[in-house]
């Protein structure tokens, strides 16, 4: 999974502009071809959809870490 991440304090208009630019790039035939060559799938979801996905993934892995008893190293 590769996706650009920005600070939460970034203005909604800036997020919308970045999203529009990234989607245009991802639609370029050369970019699509390069991804297909390595078996990568392009998913151009909205920032809101990606936020929801990240939130669900963090919750899922937090549950696993807790169940396994994994703790952060001292000083980390």
Residue 44's pLDDT is 82
Can you tell me which residue has the tokens 């989607």?
23
**Cα separation values, 10 from 17, 18, 30, Å:** 11, 11, 30
Q: Can you tell me the mean pLDDT for 41-51?
A: 89
Please provide the average confidence, as pLDDT, over all residues in the chain: 90
75: left (phi over 0), alpha (psi -120 to 50) or beta: left
How far apart, in whole angstroms, are the C-alpha atoms of residue 35 and residue 28?
11
Can you tell me which residue has the tokens 């997020």?
15
3-state DSSP assignment of residue 67: helix
pTM of the model: 0.67
DSSP code, position 28: S
């Amino acid at each position: 999974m590769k996706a650009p991440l920005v600070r939460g304090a970034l203005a909604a208009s800036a997020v919308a502009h970045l999203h529009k630019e990234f989607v245009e790039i991802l639609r370029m035939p050369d970019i699509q071809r390069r991804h297909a060559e390595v078996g990568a799938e392009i998913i151009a979801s909205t920032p809101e959809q990606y936020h929801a996905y990240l939130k669900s993934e963090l919750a899922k892995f937090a549950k696993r870490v807790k169940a396994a008893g994994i703790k952060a190293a001292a000083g980390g």
